[in-house]
Chains A and B, each alone.
Chain A
Amino acid sequence: MEIVGQLQKQFVDFSTSLYGEGFLDEQYLQLQKLQDESNPDFVCEVVSLFFDDSEKLLNNLATALQQQVVDFKQVDAHVHQFKGSSSSIGAQRVKNMCVAFRNFCEEKNLDGCLRCLQQLNHEYFLVKNKLETLFRLERQIVEAGGTVPVIVA
């Protein structure tokens, strides 16, 4: 039980830091609300889907920006997708990056776009790591027989 307590504390601290540092926003809480007994892994599933989707999008973006003639419309469409999905799961910093990215797309600023892509990559993998850690903690708590604490932002 002590382990559970520790894990729970760790989980709470970690979650709080995620919100505090802006990796996640209230939308993630909304996701968690969607998770119930009938759908116990909902968040994890959605987030995994987000990971798959994001990696595809990042690849597409990289490819699109490497073209000789960059189709900014295409790039913008990808970023729009990315923005939509990231905001849906509450990956705030990724979303914000997307907003900046779209501005550069609008300006047809290739440099800006490339820079953004790099940062987007960075932010994405950062949040991915964080979320994976979070899930691992959750799993550990459950395995240790505890219940995952509910974070209220």
Chain B
Amino acid sequence: MVEEIMGCAIETGESEEMDIVLSSMWPEDMNEAGRQFNVERPGVDKDMLEEVTIKREPDIVDFERLMELASYTEKGNWQLANLVRNWEYKQENAVRLLREELDTLSRQQRQVELKKLEILEEHRFERDGYGGNKRPISILDENLKYLYQDAPRRKRDTVFQDEKISVDAEYDSMVYWKQHAMNLEKLLEASLRREQVLMGKLQESIEKLEKQSSPVEELSQVLNRADNFLHFVLQNAPVVIGHQDKELRYRFIFNHFPSLREEDIIGKTDVEIFTGSGVKESQDFKQEVLERGLPAKREITFETELFGSKTFLIYVEPVFSKAGETIGVNYMGMEVTDQVRKREKMAKIREEMAVQKAKETELNKTIHITEESMRAKEMLATMSHEIRSPLSGVVSMAEILSNTKLDKEQRQQVNVMMSSGDLVLRIINDILDLSKVESGVMKLEAAKFRPREVVKHVLQTAAASLQKLLTLEGNVADDVPVEVIGDVLRIRQILTNLVSNAIKFTREGTVGIKLYVVPEPHNLSKQKSWKAPADQSSDSANTRKDSSLSRSQRGNHGCHEGEGIGDKNELKNMLNDQERDGTPTKEDKASHSNPQESVVWIRCDVYDTGIGIPEHAIPTLFKKYTQAGADTARKYGGTGLGLAICKQLVELMGGQLTVSSVEDKGSTFMFILPYKVSAVSDSSDELSDMDNQEVSDDEDLHAGSFLFEPRTLGLLSSQSSGRIQKLSPITYGIDPTQNYDGLLEDSSSPSSSITCQEMSSEEDAYLAAMDTSSEVDVSLNQSLNSDNLDSAEKNEQTHRCSEISQPSVTQERCQTEAQTEGSSECSSRKSNEGQKAEVKPKILLVEDNKINVIVAKSMMKQLGHNIDIVNNGAEAVRAVQCKDYDLILMDVCMPVMNGLQATRLIRSFEETGSWDGAVKAGVELQLPPQHSSPKFQQEIPRKRTPIIAMTANALSESADDCFANGMDSFVSKPVNFQNLKQCLQQYIPD
């Protein structure tokens, strides 16, 4: 538009018109400062111009100027261009006019000269020829101004002064002509003078013009400069400035980095120029501004072929005509791609930060919750522990109470007390177990046990407390090894739990256990959870097994000498079976490096004919505190922990627990577990030895079926033996007077006499005299059976030992034997009973704290044991050197030598038969080792004495230390009846 106008202005050449156009182009709000380039009124702005020209100091002026220019760049720029062109045009015009003037003057001069020549000619020919037509020309025009406002125009007011020539003389007379010639001469002279004056004026005028052109130049310089400034300012600015008309066709565009030529843009609209996203939007936006008549800003991202992806911040303002109609828009765009990118990046980062923060908060919350739950679990464990201790006090006291003289009613009450106490204790144990498993504290034992025994005992126990008419049956497949290695306590716990569950939910029918070998399941094959603890404790288990084996064999020999030959064969068969079926095949599967051990997977089904489990309840069945339904809980009671614990235990051992059930038909809980099987060393000698010794135990070793009919509640009918075995209650309140005479009788036998030498007190004697029988208690049976295989050497020893009549038998061995005998609680006497004597177990307490010593000693005394006491590890070593103990209770933290070191030394002695280690450790042995025992003890390692650690914190990690140093177990301090009793029951079975 501007160009058009410019062109128009140039065409017309009318400055007046230009004036109008220009003034209309100024923005309405143009202030005075903005007008400094309004060169149309120089008078007004003369000072300004001067100021501009004078002020060469760039900093101040430039700054102001730049600011001002910057404020109005959009319009100022083309305005300036206009002005400059206008200026140039005017200048040209002035020069042209001057030139025309000059032409006129020179023409006049030429005329005058011509006239002069004419006159001269005339004068020459007829001097007074032309007098009348001589007209002086006045070319003087002092007022001629070549000024900008009134652009110089062709001056048509040139004055020719016609002078009348008056001659006084008579016409055509001589005088007249003379006069006439004279006049003419004068006129000519005057004319020449005027000409000269004129010339001078012309000169002057030219000079003046030249002089006057200097402000024009300066102004143009100023304008140039302003223009330069504008260009300077804009040269690197990513700015596009434009004007578009009503139809949004570009009429003007400024783009310092034009990618298109002007002719490609001018007269076209955005959409005609570009293609791509954003173009339409920008066009619409401009249209909107045009329609609304209000300036607006918007950020538009273009995606065009021409310049790729760029974001522009666009400012569009409407342009109004004088009439107030919008005639177009001014448009200014700035490229802000980087800023947008940065901004977006920032936004993104901020967003990420927010997310991060949120995550952090979440994490903190989780950590907090985890900590809380850990604390809660710990708390639960601690609480359970705390509750358990006093509760076990209550229960055990009730037990003690039940052993006193009570009338029938009292006994019933006490029984109720005991059973409720037991129940609470069981629940607490459950909770404790669960939290132990969950917090990873649970340790698994690895010991030999007999699955058949376990099944039998579980059923037996269940049958004993059965209050319904249910058939309990057990079936162990032949391929199940007689002995496996695992955590029998946990397995028994699982079985008991499942069986009692089954009984709980079964009104009539059968509850049973089925055991059979299954191939290794693939999904569980390489679980480490089971192997790690098993490996860890396998050392101690193995060593322990040695000692208990020899003991049990000795004991059994004494006990069961003379049992039937048929049993021998049975055992043989059994062992062969085991070799044939069990070990070799299992060895294929063995993943363990130890060639002596292989792994067998045994599946155990516990089935019932009970109410079954609704299908929808099965998924939640193994959750904590969950039962199949609220009704169930109300009807059957219970905490809902049992199955959760079972599952966790099974999984901890590397197995799997599943359930299948049909409602109203019954349920079957199945679990498969890996067990290690230890290979049998096959010496036939040994075999026969063992046959000799173990026949009575083994009578139902291979019996795979157990049946408990409803009528025989609490009684076992073992099909193989057909014998009814009574489950003896474990008691320790021994009547010392019982069979006191028996002891005296026994004492006369050779073995007993040796034994008695060691007895230090009467108490020992009478305790040893406790009535025993060959039918061993369940727990003993188990421990005996668990180690029926050993090295030939040991067996030989054992055999020797077992020959009671042999006088050369060692003191130690006889004691052991006697002790074992003594600990065997029997309900009836067998044929060989008279040959045995009982000695009470020798127990050593290693404890430095006097008060602890007194308390422990008193307790042990009440439990029927006299104990030896030493005050530190070194003394303990010496004590063990002098005397062979059956049980050592060892404090861990002691001065001089702690319990762990002492245990290590004792273990080292047991294994090597030498006290070198102790000597090295600085223990002063009281006697040379040879004197303390018969000479062959030097070559033969001693049996392994159970060493029980006494630690202040049963849950602490020091349990690991205890085991690692060769201790067998630990009791928590302060000792109380409960844990002492448990410990004695476990390690000194009686």
> Is A42 an interface residue, CB under 8 A from the partner?
yes
> Is A16 an interface residue, CB under 8 A from the partner?
no
Interface residues of B in 845-869 (CB under 8 A from A): 848-852, 854-855, 858-859, 862
What is the chain A residue whose CB lies nearest that of B852? Answer: A88
Take A33-B862, A83-B952, A87-B952 as given contacts and tell me if A50 and B851 are in contact as well, using a CB distance cutoff of 8 Å.
yes
- Taking CB atoms, residues of chain B closer than 8 Å to A85 are 849-852
- Taking CB atoms, residues of chain B closer than 8 Å to A77 are 895
**Bound complex: CA of A29 vs CA of B974, how far in Å?**
12
Take A26-B389, A34-B855, A84-B952 as given contacts and tell me if A49 and B893 are in contact as well, using a CB distance cutoff of 8 Å.
no
> Is A39 an interface residue, CB under 8 A from the partner?
yes
**Do A84 and B973 touch (CB < 8 A)?**
yes
Q: Would you list the 8 A-B pairs with minimal beta carbon distance, nearest first? A: A85-B851, A34-B858, A84-B849, A26-B390, A87-B974, A88-B852, A88-B851, A88-B974
What is the chain B residue whose CB lies nearest that of A95? Answer: B974
How far apart are A58's CB and chain B's nearest CB, in angstroms?
Answer: 15
**Bound complex: CA of A25 vs CA of B430, how far in Å?**
24
Take A29-B393, A84-B852, A89-B851 as given contacts and tell me if A34 and B976 are in contact as well, using a CB distance cutoff of 8 Å.
no
> Is A140 an interface residue, CB under 8 A from the partner?
no
- Taking CB atoms, residues of chain A closer than 8 Å to B740 are none
- Taking CB atoms, residues of chain B closer than 8 Å to A153 are 390, 393
- Taking CB atoms, residues of chain A closer than 8 Å to B952 are 83-84, 87
- Indicate which residue in B393, B849, B893, B973 contacts A26 across the interface (CB closer than 8 Å): B393
**Do B977 and A33 touch (CB < 8 A)?**
yes
**Do B851 and A30 touch (CB < 8 A)?**
no
How far apart are B410's CB and chain A's nearest CB, in angstroms?
Answer: 16
**Bound complex: CA of A153 vs CA of B973, how far in Å?**
19
- Indicate which residue in A25, A49, A81 contacts B854 across the interface (CB closer than 8 Å): A49
Take A53-B850, A88-B849, A88-B855 as given contacts and tell me if A30 and B862 are in contact as well, using a CB distance cutoff of 8 Å.
no
> Is B469 an interface residue, CB under 8 A from the partner?
no
**Do B859 and A90 touch (CB < 8 A)?**
no
- Taking CB atoms, residues of chain B closer than 8 Å to A62 are none
> Which among B394, B849, B859, B973 has the highest number of chain A CB atoms within 10 Å?
B849
- List 24 A–B pairs whose Cβ atoms lie within 8 Å, in order of A's numbering: A26-B390, A26-B393, A26-B976, A27-B976, A30-B855, A31-B855, A33-B397, A34-B855, A42-B858, A49-B851, A53-B851, A81-B849, A84-B973, A85-B849, A85-B851, A85-B852, A87-B973, A88-B854, A88-B855, A88-B973, A88-B974, A89-B851, A90-B974, A152-B394
- Taking CB atoms, residues of chain B closer than 8 Å to A50 are 851
**Do B859 and A30 touch (CB < 8 A)?**
yes
**Bound complex: CA of A25 vs CA of B862, how far in Å?**
20
A46-B851, A85-B849 are known; give 17 further A-B pairs, CB within 8 A.
A25-B390, A26-B389, A26-B393, A27-B974, A27-B976, A31-B855, A33-B397, A33-B862, A34-B862, A46-B854, A49-B854, A81-B849, A84-B852, A85-B850, A88-B851, A88-B973, A153-B390
**Bound complex: CA of A77 vs CA of B872, how far in Å?**
14
> Is A108 an interface residue, CB under 8 A from the partner?
no
- Indicate which residue in B389, B397, B855, B862 contacts A89 across the interface (CB closer than 8 Å): B855
- Taking CB atoms, residues of chain A closer than 8 Å to B858 are 34, 39, 42
- Taking CB atoms, residues of chain A closer than 8 Å to B859 are 30, 34
What is the chain A residue whose CB lies nearest that of B953? Answer: A99
**Bound complex: CA of A8 vs CA of B854, how far in Å?**
28
What is the chain B residue whose CB lies nearest that of A54? Answer: B851
How far apart are B897's CB and chain A's nearest CB, in angstroms?
Answer: 14
Interface residues of A in 73-127 (CB under 8 A from B): 77, 80-81, 83-85, 87-90
What is the chain A residue whose CB lies nearest that of B978? Answer: A30
- Taking CB atoms, residues of chain A closer than 8 Å to B850 are 49, 53, 85
What is the chain A residue whose CB lies nearest that of B851? Answer: A85
- Taking CB atoms, residues of chain B closer than 8 Å to A45 are 854
**Bound complex: CA of A83 vs CA of B849, how far in Å?**
10
How far apart are B901's CB and chain A's nearest CB, in angstroms?
Answer: 16
**Bound complex: CA of A84 vs CA of B393, how far in Å?**
20
A residues touching B (Cβ–Cβ < 8 Å)?
25-27, 29-31, 33-34, 39, 42, 45-46, 49-50, 53, 77, 80-81, 83-85, 87-90, 152-153
**Bound complex: CA of A41 vs CA of B677, how far in Å?**
55
What is the chain B residue whose CB lies nearest that of A30? Answer: B976
Per-position 1/0 for B526-549, Cβ under 8 A of A? 000000000000000000000000
How far apart are A30's CB and chain B's nearest CB, in angstroms?
Answer: 5
**Bound complex: CA of A84 vs CA of B849, how far in Å?**
7
- Taking CB atoms, residues of chain B closer than 8 Å to A42 are 858
**Do B851 and A84 touch (CB < 8 A)?**
yes
**Bound complex: CA of A46 vs CA of B394, how far in Å?**
23
Per-position 1/0 for B817-855, Cβ under 8 A of A? 000000000000000000000000000000011111011
**Bound complex: CA of A89 vs CA of B850, how far in Å?**
11
- Taking CB atoms, residues of chain A closer than 8 Å to B849 are 81, 84-85, 88
**Do A30 and B852 touch (CB < 8 A)?**
no
How far apart are A86's CB and chain B's nearest CB, in angstroms?
Answer: 8
**Bound complex: CA of A39 vs CA of B854, how far in Å?**
12
**Bound complex: CA of A30 vs CA of B858, how far in Å?**
10
**Bound complex: CA of A89 vs CA of B973, how far in Å?**
11
- Taking CB atoms, residues of chain B closer than 8 Å to A27 are 974, 976
How far apart are B852's CB and chain A's nearest CB, in angstroms?
Answer: 5
Take A46-B854, A53-B850, A84-B851 as given contacts and tell me if A30 and B393 are in contact as well, using a CB distance cutoff of 8 Å.
yes
**Bound complex: CA of A3 vs CA of B849, how far in Å?**
40
- Taking CB atoms, residues of chain A closer than 8 Å to B394 are 152
How far apart are A57's CB and chain B's nearest CB, in angstroms?
Answer: 10
**Bound complex: CA of A34 vs CA of B980, how far in Å?**
14
Per-position 1/0 for B962-980, Cβ under 8 A of A? 0000000000011011000
- Taking CB atoms, residues of chain B closer than 8 Å to A88 are 849, 851-852, 854-855, 973-974
**Bound complex: CA of A25 vs CA of B393, how far in Å?**
11
- Taking CB atoms, residues of chain A closer than 8 Å to B851 are 46, 49-50, 53, 84-85, 88-89
How far apart are A85's CB and chain B's nearest CB, in angstroms?
Answer: 4
- Taking CB atoms, residues of chain B closer than 8 Å to A30 are 393, 855, 859, 974, 976-977
What is the chain B residue whose CB lies nearest that of A87? Answer: B974
- Taking CB atoms, residues of chain A closer than 8 Å to B393 are 26, 29-30, 153
- Taking CB atoms, residues of chain B closer than 8 Å to A83 are 952
How far apart are B773's CB and chain A's nearest CB, in angstroms?
Answer: 31
**Bound complex: CA of A49 vs CA of B852, how far in Å?**
11
How far apart are B464's CB and chain A's nearest CB, in angstroms?
Answer: 29
**Bound complex: CA of A45 vs CA of B854, how far in Å?**
10
What is the chain A residue whose CB lies nearest that of B394? Answer: A152
What is the chain A residue whose CB lies nearest that of B856? Answer: A88
Interface residues of B in 438-485 (CB under 8 A from A): none
**Bound complex: CA of A123 vs CA of B852, how far in Å?**
20
How far apart are A15's CB and chain B's nearest CB, in angstroms?
Answer: 15
- Taking CB atoms, residues of chain A closer than 8 Å to B895 are 77
- Taking CB atoms, residues of chain B closer than 8 Å to A89 are 851, 855
**Bound complex: CA of A87 vs CA of B954, how far in Å?**
14
**Bound complex: CA of A46 vs CA of B397, how far in Å?**
21
**Bound complex: CA of A39 vs CA of B850, how far in Å?**
18
**Bound complex: CA of A23 vs CA of B858, how far in Å?**
23
How far apart are B581's CB and chain A's nearest CB, in angstroms?
Answer: 51
- Taking CB atoms, residues of chain B closer than 8 Å to A90 are 974
Take A84-B973, A87-B952 as given contacts and tell me if A46 and B389 are in contact as well, using a CB distance cutoff of 8 Å.
no
What is the chain B residue whose CB lies nearest that of A35? Answer: B858
How far apart are A101's CB and chain B's nearest CB, in angstroms?
Answer: 13
How far apart are B459's CB and chain A's nearest CB, in angstroms?
Answer: 35
- Taking CB atoms, residues of chain A closer than 8 Å to B973 are 84, 87-88
What is the chain A residue whose CB lies nearest that of B857? Answer: A34
What is the chain B residue whose CB lies nearest that of A89? Answer: B851
**Bound complex: CA of A85 vs CA of B849, how far in Å?**
6
How far apart are A44's CB and chain B's nearest CB, in angstroms?
Answer: 12
**Bound complex: CA of A30 vs CA of B389, how far in Å?**
11
What is the chain A residue whose CB lies nearest that of B849? Answer: A84
**Bound complex: CA of A141 vs CA of B188, how far in Å?**
173
How far apart are A47's CB and chain B's nearest CB, in angstroms?
Answer: 9
- Taking CB atoms, residues of chain A closer than 8 Å to B848 are 81, 84
**Do B893 and A80 touch (CB < 8 A)?**
yes
How far apart are B854's CB and chain A's nearest CB, in angstroms?
Answer: 5
